[in-house]
Structure formats: structure tokens, C-alpha cells
């Protein structure tokens, strides 16, 4: 594909995104000042909070994004698991061992990379702009490299299924960094800057889209599922052409309208209240300042100017005059303003789920009550969870798994697994909380039927093994503390044998005891005879 064709595609995507840019800029101004350079040109290191008089939205955004981070991809606890779609492999010890080893290697790869710091920016962009973008590429040093891109760089398009499969990215980097990455393939205008002004920034473009010339029988970079083209727009110069086997960009949306490509966020929903609260806070501050340091009424004569308002200041006037310096009554009523501000704060916090995220728990609460509160908390985030699983977590894990597999970082799979499908199961705190309703239903059922078990065979309806497996699975009990089916079978067999042996010994003892009691009687009878 020629550079001018890519430029035309880029211009179309840029025109369709124009309405979003002003919206993103306004959100960033009031909610995420450090990224408030969507349409505005900002100097690096300058102040970006000069328009903010109330920090409620800033704190709420950070709390929600941090909560999503801890509930979905917490580094301190497992947040995904892999299982075979074919249930017959669940009893294959070799296959299970390979799957557990592969899962452990993936967690180690995530831990060694920059995933945790970059994914936090993803959650921040989601809560602020409704759309985020992360680039996942192999790395020579750490195997994986994650790079969250600013929303201003990203121009996305969906396929017929509503999945983002095309990304045009306009980004800047220094001429020296561009030369280190692309070498002599750069256009002459950039090569000249490398010599004269190596630290001056240049604008480049990256296009990733489905490969129109896909050839599954070839393994070269140009025959992969997605084509990757770096080019210089102004010079109509193709810098490099390559490909990806999986879509390298993760483009999740917080919430999305069916007719829109880009997502919508809680910050967009709360923006009217945020702007109103900010204006209220500014007005209240001015009113309080006027009350503390009020404007003064000064007669137009009789005074020797200027008026000194500092502590201990002396103001002279003519003797015998009734005129005095008096404060001007501005009629300010700060309590009313403070009450109105508090109403707006509560409205903003509701949009960001602050009340649910930091709800207080009584120490006297039972475990069931705590579980119920957590279930209610997580139910509110269920729509977000479903979309993030489909648009972020699943393609993320697929991409990482395939990169590790191609770089031979995963163990060689057993022959019987060739062509088999692996399912991804999310075991994060948020995902588990969504399923805790099952545990509550089981507990309530057991409480109701337990009193009837003495008179009726109600427990015959319950499979104890499946019950324990389901409960431990929902609550996220580590596999290493649970015995395998084979170990359980051996324990039960040994227990049954031990019980049978004990019963046999008891029977022999009873028989011997009975024999011992009958012996004297038989002797007496024989003597009497």
C-alpha cells in the first residue's frame, strides 16, 4: 500500500474523530490535568491545574481507576486462569501439568515487564475518556513490553462485528530515537535532523489493519493476519512494512453506544456537575475572601490617604468628623454555597461509585453479611466487567500467550494437545465477587435442608465432591492446597480398607470373647454329663 493511500485513510478517521477531541479536552481539563493536551499545546513541565478549584473529580477518578486495577489485574493475587475446553483433558495429568506451568510462566512474564504501571494508565484513560489504547510487543530484554498510548494519538475503526481491528496512530519521537528504531529507512528530511538537531521531535504514523494479502502458507512478516506500516505523512514515505499474527493494540471501551467507535466514561457523565462544582468553589472562595478581607467604605474627604488595612495600620481623619472607615456589606452567604457544593460532590461521587467502593464495614458483621455487601458493590460494575473482559483481558492474555509461545518461553505442549482450544477464566476479586451469589445460594440451601436430614434423605440430592469443588473455585482457593481426584480416591480407598480391617478385627474379638465365655460353660456341661 502506498503512503498517499494510508494518508487518505488517516484523514477520514481524523475527520470522524473531530467531535470527540473537544470533549476529551474538556474532561481532561477538569478531571485529568496531566493529560490535558488533546487539542491544546502544552509545554512540558508547565502547570495544568490552574483552572481547578475543587479536587473532588480528580480524587474520584483516581479512586475508581485504582479500584478497577486492584479488582481486575491485581499483581498480589491471581486474576486469570487457563483451562481446557475439552473436559476430557481435566483428568490428563501431563496436560494439566503443562497448563499450570504455562500459567505460572505467564504470571512471571507479567511481573518482570512494565505491565502493572502501564495498565494503570489504561484504567485511568478508561475512567476519564471512555477509551484507552495499549500496544503489546515483544522485547529483547524482558520478553514483553507494554506501552499505553495517549488518546490523542489513536484513530480507531471497527469491523462488522463491532471489534476494533484498525488503528492509525500519529505520534512524536526525537529524531535520534527514530533513527535508532528505523535506521536509514527514514526519509531524508529526518536523517538530516539526526545530524543537525538529534533531539528535535518528528511526527510519524503507524497503521495496523487486517492484511488484505493474507497468505496462511507463508511465514514472512508481510503474510501475517495484520499488516504493520510505519510511514511519514508529509513526505509520502513508507518507512517499514511488517505484520502481526495478533492485533497488537488493545482498545477497550468503558461504555459504548452502538453507533459510536469510541467509548463513554463516568467523567463524561459527571462533567456538568464537575464544571458546576468548580464554578461554585471558585465563587465560594471569593465570597469567603471578601468576608475575611471585605471591601471598605471610605469617605471622599476628611481622610489622609492612602487607607492602611494591614495589622496595626493607622488611618488619619479630621477631628470632629463622623465619617469612619467601614466594611461594605456584600451580602455573602457562604453556608448556602457550601451546602450546594456538597450536593454536587455527592452527585459526582455517585457517578464514580465512591460510596460503594469505600463503604464502611461493621466489625460485628458476619461473613455472610460482608459477602452480600461485596456482591452488591460488584453488581454495579458488572456491565463494565463484561466489556473489559471481551475487549481488554481476553485479547491481552491471547497476545501474551502467543508471544511467549513463539519465543519458546513456554514448555513444549504434549502431542495430545495439538489443535486443542484453551479457555480463559477470570479469577480476579471482581470476577469472584460476581459469582459469590452461587455460594450464598448453597449456604442458604444447606441451612434449610440440614434440619430435615435426620428424618428425610434430602442430602442425597447434594453431590459433596462437586459442592466443594464449586465453592473453592468461586472463592479462589489455590489449587496447590487442594488434593487431586487421584489422591482423594487413594485416601478413600485406604480409609475404606482400614475401616473394613477394623471391623474384621472387632468381629474376631467379639467372636473370641464369645468363645471364651462359652468355654467354661462347655466344661461344666461336660463334667455334669
Whether the CB-CB separation of 191 and 237 falls below 8 Å is answered with: no
Q: What are phi and psi of 164, to 5 degrees?
A: -70, 115
pLDDT at 157: 95
Roughly how many angstroms between the first and final C-alpha of the chain, as a whole number? 120
Maximal CA-CA distance, the chain: 153
Query: C-alpha cell of 180?
Result: 535508532
Distance (Å, rounded) from C-alpha 461 to C-alpha 471? 17
List the beta bridge partners of residue 139. 143
C-alpha torsion sign, points 393, 396, 399, 404: negative
Other beta carbons within 10 Å of 395? 21
The C-alpha atoms of residue 400 and residue 110 are separated, in whole angstroms, by 9
Contact assessment for residue 116 and residue 396, using Cβ atoms and an 8 Å cutoff: no
My answer on whether omega of the bond before 249 falls inside 30° of 0, hence cis, is: no
Within 10 angstroms of residue 114's Cβ, the number of other Cβ atoms is: 15
* Number of neighbours of residue 185 by Cβ within 10 angstroms: 16
pLDDT at position 219: 63
Please name the residue that has the C-alpha cell 512471571. 108
Answer for the pair 155, 131: CB distance below 8 angstroms, yes or no: no
Q: Tell me the helix, strand and coil percentages in the chain, rounded to 5.
A: 55, 15, 30
Q: What is the pLDDT of residue 519?
A: 62
| Dist. CA 235–CA 240, nearest whole Å | 14
Q: Using DSSP, state whether 327 is helix, strand or coil.
A: strand
So what's the pLDDT on residue 526?
Answer: 63
Name the phi and psi angles at 186, rounded to 5. Answer: -70, 155
The one-digit pLDDT tens for each residue of the chain (529 residues) are 788 899 999 999 999 999 999 999 999 999 999 999 999 887 777 788 888 999 999 999 999 999 899 888 988 888 888 888 877 777 777 888 888 899 999 999 999 999 999 999 999 999 999 999 999 999 988 889 999 999 999 999 999 999 999 999 999 999 999 999 999 999 999 999 999 999 999 999 999 999 887 766 666 666 788 999 999 998 899 999 999 999 999 999 999 988 899 999 999 999 999 999 999 888 888 888 788 788 877 777 656 677 777 777 777 777 766 677 777 777 767 787 788 889 999 999 999 988 877 765 445 666 666 666 666 666 777 778 888 988 999 999 999 999 999 999 999 888 888 877 888 888 776 666 666 667 777 777 888 888 877 777 877 788 888 878 777 776 666 666 777 777 888 888 888 888 888 888 888 888 777 776 666 655 655 665 5
Order of strands, sheet of 249-250, starting from the edge strand that comes earlier in the sequence = 143-148, 134-139, 249-250
Contact 202, 239 (CB under 8 A): no
Strand segments, DSSP code E, in 49-192 are 81-84, 134-139, 143-148, 154-158, 164-174
- Distance separating alpha carbons of residues 376 and 359, to the nearest angstrom: 11
Residue 311: what are its φ and ψ, rounded to 5°? -55, 130
Rounded Cα–Cα distance for residues 287 and 292 (Å)? 9
As a whole number of angstroms, the distance between CA 92 and CA 5 comes to: 52
Give the length of the chain.
529
Q: Answer whether 322's CB lies under 8 Å from 357's CB.
A: no
Q: Could you tell me if 223 and 243 are in contact, meaning their C-beta atoms sit under 8 angstroms apart?
A: yes
| β-pair type (422-425, 81-84) | antiparallel
Report pLDDT for 83: 84
pTM reported for the whole predicted model: 0.80
Strand partners, 193: none
The CA distance from 87 to 77, in Å, is: 26
258: Cα separation from own chain's centroid: 22
pLDDT of residue 508: 82
Q: What is the Cα–Cα distance from 334 to 348, expressed in whole angstroms? A: 21
CB neighbours of residue 49 within 10 Å: 13
Judge whether 229 and 241 are in contact, CB under 8 Å. yes
Cell readout for 372 is 452480600
From the centroid of its chain, how far is CA 31?
18
Amino acid at each position: 500500500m502506498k503512503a498517499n493511500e494510508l494518508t487518505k485513510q488517516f484523514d477520514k478517521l481524523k475527520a470522524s474523530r473531530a467531535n470527540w477531541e473537544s470533549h476529551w479536552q474538556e474532561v481532561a481539563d477538569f478531571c485529568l490535568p496531566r493529560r490535558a493536551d488533546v487539542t491544546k499545546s502544552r509545554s512540558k513541565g508547565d502547570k495544568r491545574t490552574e483552572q481547578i478549584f475543587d479536587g473532588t473529580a480528580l480524587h474520584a477518578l483516581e479512586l475508581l481507576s485504582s479500584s478497577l486495577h486492584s479488582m481486575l489485574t491485581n499483581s498480589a493475587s491471581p486474576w486469570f486462569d487457563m483451562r481446557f475446553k475439552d473436559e476430557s483433558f481435566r483428568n490428563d495429568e501431563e496436560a494439566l501439568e503443562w497448563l499450570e506451568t504455562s500459567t505460572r510462566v505467564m504470571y512471571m512474564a507479567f511481573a518482570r515487564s512494565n505491565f502493572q504501571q502501564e495498565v494503570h494508565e489504561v484504567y485511568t484513560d478508561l475512567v476519564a475518556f471512555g477509551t484507552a489504547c495499549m500496544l503489546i510487543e515483544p522485547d529483547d530484554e524482558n520478553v514483553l513490553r507494554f506501552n499505553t498510548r495517549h488518546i490523542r494519538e489513536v484513530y480507531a475503526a471497527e469491523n462488522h462485528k463491532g471489534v476494533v481491528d484498525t488503528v492509525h496512530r500519529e505520534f512524536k519521537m526525537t529524531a535520534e530515537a527514530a533513527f535508532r528504531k528505523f535506521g536509514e529507512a527514514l526519509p531524508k528530511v529526518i536523517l538530516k535532523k539526526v545530524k543537525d538537531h538529534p533531539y528535535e521531535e518528528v511526527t510519524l504514523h503507524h497503521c495496523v489493519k487486517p492484511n488484505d494479502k493474507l497468505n496462511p502458507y507463508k511465514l514472512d512478516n508481510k503474510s501475517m493476519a495484520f499488516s504493520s506500516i510505519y510511514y511519514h505523512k508529509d513526505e509520502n514515505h513508507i518507512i517499514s512494512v511488517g505484520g502481526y499474527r495478533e492485533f497488537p493494540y488493545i482498545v477497550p471501551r468503558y461504555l459504548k453506544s452502538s453507533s459510536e467507535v469510541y467509548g463513554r466514561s463516568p467523567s463524561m457523565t459527571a462533567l456538568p456537575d464537575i464544571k458546576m462544582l468548580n464554578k461554585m468553589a471558585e465563587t465560594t472562595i471569593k465570597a469567603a475572601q471578601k468576608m475575611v478581607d471585605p471591601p471598605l467604605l471610605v469617605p471622599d474627604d476628611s481622610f489622609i490617604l492612602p487607607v492602611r488595612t494591614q495589622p496595626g495600620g493607622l488611618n488619619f481623619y479630621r477631628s470632629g468628623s463622623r465619617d469612619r472607615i467601614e466594611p461594605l456589606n456584600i451580602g455573602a452567604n457562604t453556608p448556602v454555597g457550601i451546602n450546594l457544593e456538597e450536593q454536587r460532590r455527592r452527585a459526582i461521587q455517585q457517578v464514580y461509585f465512591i460510596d460503594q467502593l469505600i463503604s464502611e464495614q461493621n466489625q460485628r458483621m458476619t461473613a455472610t453479611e460482608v459477602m452480600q455487601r461485596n456482591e452488591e458493590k460488584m453488581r454495579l460494575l458488572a456491565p463494565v466487567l463484561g466489556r473489559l473482559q471481551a475487549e481488554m483481558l481476553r485479547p491481552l492474555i491471547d497476545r501474551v500467550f502467543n508471544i511467549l509461545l513463539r519465543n519458546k518461553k513456554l514448555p513444549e505442549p504434549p502431542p495430545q494437545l495439538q489443535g486443542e482450544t484453551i479457555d480463559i477464566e477470570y479469577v480476579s476479586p471482581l470476577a469472584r465477587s460476581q459469582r459469590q451469589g452461587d455460594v450464598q445460594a448453597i449456604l442458604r440451601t444447606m441451612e434449610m435442608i440440614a434440619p430435615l436430614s435426620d428424618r428425610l434423605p434430602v442430602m442425597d440430592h447434594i453431590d459433596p465432591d462437586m459442592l466443594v469443588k464449586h465453592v473453592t473455585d468461586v472463592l479462589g482457593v489455590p489449587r496447590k492446597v487442594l488434593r487431586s481426584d487421584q489422591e482423594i480416591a487413594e485416601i478413600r480407598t485406604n480409609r475404606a480398607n482400614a475401616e473394613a480391617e477394623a471391623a474384621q478385627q472387632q468381629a474376631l474379638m467379639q467372636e473370641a470373647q464369645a468363645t471364651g465365655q462359652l468355654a467354661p460353660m462347655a466344661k461344666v456341661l461336660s463334667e455334669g454329663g
